[in-house]
């Protein structure tokens, strides 16, 4: 088995390459086109319309006695969740680099991320047949930008008129290409440097002519160790280089036995024995992707790490919960139905899915992306892979009453499919927020609600909750005196107030002398004050950070009541606000931005334009990353996910936490008269 994730920036040709490999292995009779929306792996309605991958596409094929699972990942940073899922299911990453676009910063960042976890990597240069393609320069950039261990294995063979007619294989002697001898020598020395075969080194030093068959075993070992990274070439639309690429996938890429399994615990966190890729071992599989099919219902894509998954088998589902997922950690027993091998959206039934393989299972009602399937008698839990925290809010409203009834279940299914989505009802504004990775991610989610779940929503501007505090100290009287025959209402309170320190909240004290306000009504006054502060006095902005003191008042032996003193307390708050005036406060956040060192200047400049206060930075020379810390108004962060991606060329990330409130500028909020 070989499980290979195709990764790279958008437009590099990952889906086109995968489509060509499916045709070359006989899985498809002919290749579809991304431009026509006819490819096997881009079958989602959004992908067809946008002509780009936004979800993880999976196809398993047979070639030369080997099962090859191709995991086609999206190239846009907005869909990094799908990318991480593909890497979790894969044993190696094949970086697809365009001979026109070259190596961009996001590709380098992803390369370093894979290196940090020891993921074996290789590179394939595509689109050599396009105008302005420069394969030699792209290979040079790969060797420069991606670091040590990058060796070209293929060069492009061009006809005298410049058209691509094949690839030159440097693993075979006598390659006819410019600088082929030097590159071949470097390649062989790189392979031998990772080899434990002393006889191979002796043959090379003795001047023996080594051929591809002599080198492939050691090349595969070097790739599996993650220290050797071959660079291949392919022109998918011409069918050039595909046979050589498939040969290397089968003979030079690591199998699941060489990549190992993630650690696992018991669902309660207790330690469990380590896993191995053994078909006869305990069953442990992970849900790497969840989709909803209109006919099959929920479809779960699984990577089986240990044991063998068979149809009609009971399994235990261990799930990661939390506020982001909308439920606590769950443990449920279910029964597997049919087990299928995926070919894009098509599912082909199989008798079993052994350790190391990838399969699809339908109608698992409780399983979500990131959950673990194991034996009910020996439950295990695999820790979730690292995912970005969504930082781009989108406020949505149901388009109709019928849509409102269906919106809740649809959002639950959406969160089950995509763990990078967080659904939140804002406590301050009441808005329903979809927290997304970026703007394009949000657009896809809204479209998916409409097309896949039949729910129409509209987007509205996200409201940042403003608050108010008193502009200064004041004294006011809240008076409620009503006599209309029968039982009346009588309550008079005199309250002093002053603004408190930031974050102090609403405090209440009393200095009443002589029983002017009976002690049993003090709590009623406080309740009325706090209720009015929560409602606010202007534009529904809550009143915060004020110290109130009840100093005097009057009561009536018959007409005073709890409700009357609550109303008087609320009236006192409004009178105090009118007497002292108010200041509008806006929420601020502490932000940590992580970017490559070369983009620090651009990030700081952009933060300054957002009224931010940069408080410091820390450099990590080992990772060539710098963390910039700043305090930023929350309203300035509404579009920051996209802005950071722009100034850092897709390589930056950020996190935030609430800091408190500070006075808002007059240009931001107009305080009513």
Predicted local confidence at residue 672, as pLDDT: 43
CATH topology of domain 584-668: Alpha-Beta Plaits (3.30.70)
Task: Give the highest mean pLDDT range of 50-54, 127-131, 352-356, 511-515.
Answer: 352-356
Measured between alpha carbons, how far is residue 337 from residues 200, 350, 360, 415, 606 in Å?
50, 11, 10, 23, 53
> What is the average pLDDT across 629-641?
95
- If pLDDT is split at 50, 70 and 90, which confidence band does 671 have? very low
Predicted local confidence at residue 542, as pLDDT: 93
User: For 99-118, how does the pLDDT look when each residue is reduced to its tens digit (9 = 90+)?
Assistant: 998 898 889 888 988 888 88
- If pLDDT is split at 50, 70 and 90, which confidence band does 327 have? low
- If pLDDT is split at 50, 70 and 90, which confidence band does 602 have? very high
Q: Does the structure show a pLDDT above 70 at 566? A: yes
> What is the average pLDDT across 226-234?
91
Q: Can you point out the beta strands (E) in 512-599? A: 546-554, 582-596
* Contacting residues for 221 by C-beta, under 8 A, at least 6 apart: 194, 195, 196
> What is the average pLDDT across 513-530?
93
User: For 443-494, how does the pLDDT look when each residue is reduced to its tens digit (9 = 90+)?
Assistant: 999 998 998 889 999 999 999 999 999 999 999 999 999 876 667 899 999 9
Better pLDDT: 622 or 364: 364
Residues forming beta bridges with residue 308, ordered by sequence position? 354
Q: Does the structure show a pLDDT above 60 at 651? A: yes
Q: Does the structure show a pLDDT above 70 at 322? A: no
Question: Do the domains 584-668 and 392-460 match in fold?
Answer: yes
Domain ranges for the chain: 2-259, 284-374, 392-460, 467-580, 584-668
Predicted local confidence at residue 538, as pLDDT: 84
User: For 142-190, how does the pLDDT look when each residue is reduced to its tens digit (9 = 90+)?
Assistant: 999 998 899 999 888 888 888 888 888 888 887 666 677 888 888 888 8
CATH architecture of 392-460: 2-Layer Sandwich (3.30)
**Helical (H) or strand (E) element with 442:** helix 439-451
In percent, the amount of the chain with pLDDT more than 90 equals: 61
> What is the average pLDDT across 628-652?
93
25-39, 178-192, 277-291: which has the minimum mean pLDDT?
178-192
CATH topology of domain 467-580: Ribosomal Protein S5; domain 2 (3.30.230)
CATH topology of domain 2-259: Rossmann fold (3.40.50)
Residue 243: which of 77, 32, 20, 432 has the closest Cα? 20
- 284-374, superfamily in CATH? Translation factors (2.40.30.10)
Q: Does the structure show a pLDDT above 90 at 594? A: yes
User: For 40-71, how does the pLDDT look when each residue is reduced to its tens digit (9 = 90+)?
Assistant: 888 788 888 888 888 999 999 999 999 999 99
- If pLDDT is split at 50, 70 and 90, which confidence band does 325 have? low
- If pLDDT is split at 50, 70 and 90, which confidence band does 324 have? low
As a three-state string, the secondary structure of 486-537 is CCCEEEEEEEEEEECCCCCCEEEEECCCCCCCCHHHHHHHHHHHHHHHHHCC
Residues 46 and 27: beta-carbon distance below 8 Å: no
User: What average pLDDT does the chain have?
Assistant: 90
Residues 233 and 170: beta-carbon distance below 8 Å: no
């Amino acid at each position: 088995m070989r499980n290979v994730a195709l990764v790279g920036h958008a437009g590099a040709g990952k889906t086109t390459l995968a489509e060509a490999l499916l045709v070359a292995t006989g899985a498809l009779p002919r290749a579809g086109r991304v431009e026509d929306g006819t490819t096997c792996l881009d079958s989602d309605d959004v992908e067809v319309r946008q002509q780009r991958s936004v979800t993880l596409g999976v196809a398993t094929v047979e070639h030369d006695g080997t099962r090859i699972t191709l995991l086609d990942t999206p190239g846009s940073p907005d869909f990094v969740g799908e990318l991480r899922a593909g890497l979790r299911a894969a044993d190696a990453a094949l970086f697809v680099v365009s001979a026109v676009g070259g190596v961009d910063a996001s590709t380098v960042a992803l390369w370093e991320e894979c290196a940090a976890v020891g993921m074996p990597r290789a590179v394939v240069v595509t689109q050599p047949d396009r105008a302005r393609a420069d394969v030699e320069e792209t290979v040079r950039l790969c060797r420069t930008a991606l670091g040590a261990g990058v060796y070209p294995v293929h060069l492009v063979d061009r006809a005298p008129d410049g058209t691509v007619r094949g690839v030159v294989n440097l693993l075979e002697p006598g390659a006819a290409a410019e600088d082929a001898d030097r590159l071949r020598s470097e390649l062989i020395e790189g392979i031998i440097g990772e080899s434990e075969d002393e006889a191979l080194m002796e043959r090379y030093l003795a001047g023996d002519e080594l051929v591809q068959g002599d080198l492939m075993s050691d090349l595969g070992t070097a790739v599996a160790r993650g220290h050797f990274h071959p660079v291949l070439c392919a022109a998918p639309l011409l069918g050039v280089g595909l046979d050589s690429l498939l040969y290397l996938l089968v003979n030079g890429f690591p199998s699941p036995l060489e990549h190992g399994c993630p650690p696992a615990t018991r669902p309660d966190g207790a330690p469990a024995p380590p896993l191995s890729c053994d078909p006869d071992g305990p069953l442990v599989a992970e849900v790497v992707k969840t989709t909803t099919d209109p006919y099959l219902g929920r479809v779960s894509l699984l990577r089986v790490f240990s044991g063998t998954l068979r149809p009609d088998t009971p399994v235990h589902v261990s799930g990661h919960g939390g506020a982001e997922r909308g439920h606590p950690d769950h443990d449920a027993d279910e029964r597997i139905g049919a087990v299928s091998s995926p070919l894009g959206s098509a599912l082909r039934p199989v008798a079993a899915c052994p350790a190391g393989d990838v399969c699809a299972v339908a109608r698992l009602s409780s399983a979500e992306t990131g959950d673990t399937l194991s034996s009910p008698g020996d439950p295990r839990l695999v820790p979730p892979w690292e995912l970005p925290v969504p930082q781009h809010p989108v406020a949505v409203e149901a388009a109709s009453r019928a849509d409102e009834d269906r919106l809740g279940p649809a959002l639950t299914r959406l969160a089950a499919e995509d763990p990078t989505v967080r659904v939140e009802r804002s406590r301050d504004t009441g808005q329903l927020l979809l927290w997304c990775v970026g703007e394009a991610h949000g657009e896809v989610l809204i479209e998916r609600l409409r097309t896949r779940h039949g729910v129409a929503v509209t987007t509205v501007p996200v409201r940042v909750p403003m608050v108010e505090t008193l502009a200064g100290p004041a004294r006011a009287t809240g008076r409620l005196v009503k006599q209309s025959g029968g039982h009346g209402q009588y309550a008079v309170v005199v309250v002093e107030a002053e603004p408190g320190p930031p974050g102090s909240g609403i405090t209440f004290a009393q200095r009443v002398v002589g029983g002017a306000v009976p002690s049993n009504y003090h709590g009623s006054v406080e309740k009325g004050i706090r209720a009015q502060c929560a409602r606010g006095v202007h534009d529904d902005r809550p009143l915060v950070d004020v110290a109130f003191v009840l100093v005097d008042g009057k009561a009536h032996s018959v007409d005073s009541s709890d409700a009357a003193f609550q109303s008087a307390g609320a009236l006192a708050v409004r009178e105090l606000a009118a007497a002292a005036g108010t200041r509008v406060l806006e929420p601020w956040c502490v932000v940590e931005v992580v970017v490559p060192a070369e983009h620090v200047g651009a990030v700081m400049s952009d933060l300054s334009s957002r009224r931010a206060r940069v408080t410091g930075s820390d450099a990590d020379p080992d990772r060539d990353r710098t963390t910039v810390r700043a305090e930023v108004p929350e309203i300035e962060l509404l579009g920051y996910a996209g802005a950071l991606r722009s100034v850092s060329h897709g390589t930056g990330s950020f996190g935030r936490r609430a800091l408190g409130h500070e006075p808002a500028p007059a240009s931001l909020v107009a305080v009513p008269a």
